[in-house]
Amino acid sequence: MSCLVAFAVGQKYSVGNGFHIIAAHTDSPCLKLKPKSASSKSGYLMVNVQTYGGGLWHTWFDRDLTVAGRVIVRGSDGSFLHKLVKVKRPLLRVPTLAIHLDRTVNKDGFKPNLETQLIPLLATKSEETSVEPKEKSSTSSSKVTHHPQLMQILSQELGCGTDDIASIELNICDTQPSCLGGANNEFIFSGRLDNLASSYCGLRALIDSCVSPSNLSSEHAIRMVALFDNEEVGSDSYQGAGAPTMFQAIRRIVGSLAHEHVSETSFECTIRQSFLVSADMAHGVHPNFSEKHEEHHRPEMQKGLVIKHNANQRYATSGVTAFLFKEIAKLHNLPTQEFVVRNDMGCGSTIGPILASGVGIRTVDCGIAQLSMHSVREICGTEDIDIAYRHFKAFYESFSSIDKKLIVDF
């Protein structure tokens, strides 16, 4: 329930033609409730959490936090219902230690212990909550392992009894909504821009490129978007890019449209004719730390999508795939930028190499420039969202015509 594949079939598609795909990930670094989250210290009810991904965890302190995620609810007919839930009001907070009790923090740096000092407060402990009545000892495990106050709040949001909640899988998230900022409203201040911004632009572009049958009347390919979970922790999961979900979908689609058994050769031809855009947010140059970027590759906000290169294949971009993607931009008067990491620094990666190497599909890695990546509150440029959307939409609408012009010298 955190992975999505959507597609539209060109009216001139024939078996063996390619898929034109935009792939992104849906997850972001966050705090997740432990299976047994209830604890108490010094008169406070606490919620035990795990760290997910490589977050800037110091940014989670002194924020108004809440919970969101999935809950399994027992139905009155004995069924089990999978429901999504988000509590909108502030519930939790991780307070910092006053500087009077930590005089050297500004000199030595703020280095909290993630196991013992990153535990959110839920409430003050009262006599009523310190010991549960004996008659409640046989209730569900979720009530035993999670604070009754939290379970009561969840039941109110879901419109069910606390005993009906069979299981929970909850994340901690910031309650502050996204907003425009800057003197000219040129910035977006938001949590989880990495990588919901890319996911939104890709999905919106697919939908808007297929609003009427005429949009697909001359299309020889299949347009697809694929959104995966768990990129922040390596993608090796049931719902991650390391799973065969997207390629199984391609095989099933091809088989359905062929109206007969599809040979391995047909599927392999389809993959070789396909092209994938791996969309993940990019590191914009930081004005206070510009030396962290390679001198000639410093992406800026409001300057278009960033094409990512890495000779050691941390990104899947090649000279050919970069050219084709830039040619789309050139045709539609859209700006692009390029990025390589410094040789004396490590390079992150994306789902691009995972998907490219999975079956051998041409891939370009790109992203929207941003600052504060992996903070609880990130920043990107408003124009870049529009440019990314238009570039992705142009990719769906124009790639077939551009790709067939490429003549490979064997």
Helix (H, G, I), strand (E, B) or coil at 288: coil
How many Cα atoms sit within 13 Å of 344 on the Cβ side?
5
Bond from prior residue into 230 cis (ω within 30 degrees of 0): no
For residues 227 and 203, the answer to whether their CB atoms sit within 8 Å is yes
Domains of the chain: which residue ranges? 4-28+191-404, 30-125+144-174
How many other C-beta atoms can be found within 10 angstroms of the C-beta atom of residue 287?
8
E strands present in 251-354: 275-279, 282-283, 305-308, 336-339
d(CA 110, CA 57): 10
- Yes or no: say if 281 and 388 are a contact pair by the CB < 8 Å rule: no
* Nearest of 267, 275, 391 to residue 337 by alpha carbon: 391
Cα separation of 137 and 252, whole Å? 49
User: What are the mean pLDDT values of the chain's consecutive 10-residue runs (410 residues total)?
Assistant: 94 94 98 96 96 97 98 94 96 97 94 96 77 42 77 96 95 98 98 97 98 92 97 95 95 85 78 96 97 95 97 95 97 97 93 94 98 98 98 97 87
Q: Cβ distance 148 to 132 under 8 Å?
A: yes
State residue 267's pLDDT score. 86
The phi, psi pair for 325, rounded to 5°, reads: -70, -40
Q: What single string gives the DSSP state of each residue in 185-202?
A: S-EEEES-HHHHHHHHHH
pLDDT of residue 410: 67
DSSP character string of 360-410: T-EEEEEE-EEESTTSSSEEEEHHHHHHHHHHHHHHHHHHHHHHTT-----
Quote the distance between the C-alpha of residue 109 and its chain's center. 29
**Domain spanning 4-28+191-404, CATH class:** alpha beta
pTM of the predicted structure, to 2 decimals? 0.93
Q: Does domain 30-125+144-174 correspond to CATH entry 3.50.50.60?
A: no
H-helix or E-strand spanning residue 352: helix 351-359
**What angle separates helix 245-258 from helix 351-359, to the nearest 10 degrees?**
50
